[in-house]
Chain A
Amino acid sequence: MKMRILASALLGIAVLLVPLFSGPFLQYLVLNMLLLALLALSFNLLFGMTGLLSFGQGAFYAGGAYAAALLLRAGMPLLPSVLLGSLFAAALAALIGAFCVRHTRIYFSMLTLAFGMLVYAVVWKWTDVTGGDDGLIGIPRGAFFESAERYYLLAAALVLASVAVLHRLSNSPLGLALRAIRENSERAEFSGIAVRQTIFIAFVTAGFFAGLSGALLAPLEQTVSPSTAHWTKSAEPVMATLIGGPFAFAGPLLGAVVYLGLKEIIVRYTEYWLLVFGLVLLGMVLSFRGGLLGAALDHWARRQRA
């Protein structure tokens, strides 16, 4: 336990120190990994914890990104813009969640997918506000955060803080209630847990953190495009989580790093990177059920027993 806290703290510090010993490219890559990791963790709050496969995290990601971008372009400072952007995503999640939490399994997944596509359509068509196909460009970060290093520090710190919050949540009574719902929602209801209300809370929380990930992306790229809302964006956290492992808290974190890392490497060798990546993903899912981290933990547990 102590070891774990120490290791996590060291890893966190290492992440914050990245700008000291690396150039802009690596900073950009690590920050992208962190943002995907946060998106994947938010997804896994529903998937691994609660047993609900959401294909709509892209909607909240885009919601956070567009809201933050609009606020920044209207002249609001960076930090309040990012927070209000995340809150906007949470509000959007509350609206959509009110419908989705009435359903489970495939119906839940289809509904989240449908709402995700609806949001995409709005982003695409509502040109006056979202810029339509062009998206929003020229998003200012403000004078202080104009430096890439400073922005990196702020974004990385916010992601790390979010990871800590989500970790605490997963070990809290609410976390247990969510796992109980995943294991047996009927029994959870008959244990006195108001199942729909609890799932709703998880849904809105997941929406908030997906939104935060998006809200941090907009100032990083200084543009937002409709592709943030596309369903393929919603698939990224799914893949990262499956690679890393949905049943260990750090699984989606590891998965996000592996996903973007692999992509970065494969792209250098072939333009058919998706083909190669697909094969690698296939191999991983087939040979490591429970993801890389799940498989590693299993292996470790078996060695300890032997």
Chain B
Amino acid sequence: MTALLEVRGLRKSFAEFAAISGVDLELPGGGVTAVIGPNGAGKTTFINLLTGKLSPDAGRIAFAGADVTHLSASARVRAGMARTFQVTNVFPLLSAEENVAVPVLARAKKSLEPRRRLDSMQDVHESVRKLLATVGLADRAAQAAAALSHGDRRLLEIALALASEPRLLLLDEPTAGMGAGERDRVLAQIRDLAARVTILLVEHDMEVVFGLAGRIVVLHQGKVLADGAPQAIRDDPRVREIYLGEAGVAPAALPAPAAGAPLLEVEHLEAGYGLAHVLHDVSFSVARGEILALLGRNGVGKTTTLRSLAGLTQPWRGSAIRLSGRPIAFEAPETIAALGVSYVPDDRRIFPDLTAAENLRVPVLALRRTRWAREKIGAIFPPLAALWNRKGRHLSGGEQKMLAIARALMTDPALLLLDEPSEGLGPLMVRILVAALAQIRSEGVTVLLADQNLQFARAVADRAVVMERGRLVHAAARAELLGDHSKLQRLLAV
């Protein structure tokens, strides 16, 4: 018997970055298979290749025995592969009913029919009603999708995917940004579906993964690192290593920070996107001159925290953020930046067509002066010193990361916000980064970094706080980081 889905030698690069470098996978059909992996492992690229949103550089994808590698996305849907998206993706101004009618009509090959009135097509309405009832949205059929709650929209999305009558359903983080109640509803729904259709799931929430999947595939740096039953994956030392970081990074020597009023105080921070409530009552402070690590698995709200501090995501009412005692929670990003807060997003955002040196000069254009000279930057990040004239796009991921941090330093920040600085870095790069952060700290710059790599945090941070589903659940002093860190390990492990 042929497999339902067969992937051979799949490859995809973006510029010089290999997102997927040789993936083989076979799904016999039936059951729930989960694809997991740290940020940047290539999960989303993989699902986009499978569904035709991206086309691969090499490799073959066969579905139900037929080669679909070069079919358009819509043709793959018609062949029986449907998907949902990480960020809810529905037709906002159409009613729930009309939303579902779109794939129902496409499935019936009637999308191009111009002569019949939609109102009069009873069979279509019957299918739509059934699908809405399946996901529990029958009583909201006439509401515009934009007016539905976040959880209802996720369910609507599942109804959209089901309407295509797929044999394989690909779910990209189906519970991202959900509250516990909504999450359980969606989980129950997926469990029901699993009886009828093969499911391939990409998910960060480990409880979801271990609660649903009968088989887990671990992607790491664009390759399949491990593939097996949940228990085997949980016990696999290689998997533990990529989730917990390299064990061999030596901690930097960190002299105690000066006592005094904290540089940054965060109280009752609440934030989210639209209806998705991401941060719940987050309170912490960062002392002047220290490095605080905000730890947590993917999707728990670390990035939202940093974005709220930088003014890029508006905190909700009642939140308080103070920088040197001055309230900044509702200031514009440029005001916050001018006060000395510099944010380095996880995707780096360097200027690809400028050279490394030019990248550093950009912030100085506006500021006119900085205490950070290029020589000093070169001393902190030795690999950059040899690359000043290379264009941003031709730097490796790790070099781009360093350049992004260096560029942030050029703005003379008092507080540096780093999102996932160690993500996707090899052990050598991690070591360089640890040394660099210790030097930056000794220059008096305060650092708040969000990461999921415990070993990295142990090496560089004065303290750590751990986030789970938008709440801070644990605070660890330097002693706990360096000493018995089993509790931290448990909070961060798969």
Contacts and interface: CB of A to CB of B under 8 A. Distances in A.
Interface of A: 168-169, 171-177, 179-180, 183-184, 186-195, 197-198, 201, 205
Q: Which 3 A-B pairs have the closest CB atoms?
A: A192-B106, A183-B91, A191-B103
Contact of B92 (A169, A183, A191): A183
B107 interface: yes
B115 A191 contact: no
A197 B72 CA distance: 12
Interface in B147-182: 160, 163-164
Interface of B: 51, 53, 72-75, 77-78, 82-83, 85, 89-94, 98, 101-103, 105-107, 110-119, 121, 124, 160, 163-164
Contact of B111 (A177, A186, A190): A177
B114 A183 contact: no
A193 B91 contact: no
Contacts of B92: 183-184
A183 B105 contact: no
Nearest to B108: A173
Contacts of B90: 184, 187
A108 B83 CA distance: 28
Given A184-B92, A189-B74, A190-B82, A176 B98 contact: yes
Given A172-B114, A179-B98, A193-B111, 8 more contacts: A168-B115, A169-B114, A171-B119, A176-B102, A180-B98, A193-B106, A195-B74, A205-B114
Given A189-B74, A192-B77, A194-B72, A173 B105 contact: yes
A193 B110 CA distance: 10
Contacts of B83: 190
Contacts of B112: 173-174, 177, 197-198, 201
Nearest to A187: B89
B94 A183 contact: yes
A226 B51 CA distance: 48
A interface secondary structure, majority:
helix
Contacts of A197: 112
A52 B85 CA distance: 24
A191 B94 contact: no
7 contacts: A173-B113, A174-B111, A174-B114, A176-B102, A190-B85, A192-B74, A198-B111
A171 to B, nearest CB: 5
A25 B124 CA distance: 49
Contacts of B94: 176, 179-180, 183
Contacts of B75: 194
B89 A176 contact: no
A189 B91 contact: no
Residue among A173, A176, A183 having the largest count of chain B Cβ atoms under 10 Å: A173
Contacts of A186: 53, 89
B118 A184 contact: no
A195 B78 CA distance: 13
A171 B118 contact: yes
A173 B111 CA distance: 5
A130 to B, nearest CB: 33
Contacts of B107: 192
Nearest to B103: A191
A176 B77 contact: no
B164 A192 contact: yes
A192 B103 contact: yes
Contacts of A176: 94, 98, 101-102, 105, 111, 118
Contacts of A168: 114-115, 117
A180 B91 contact: yes
B85 to A, nearest CB: 8
B73 A190 contact: yes
Contacts of A198: 111-112
Nearest to A188: B102
Contacts of A201: 112
Contact of B102 (A172, A180, A205): A180
B164 A173 contact: no
Contacts of A177: 102, 105-106, 111-112
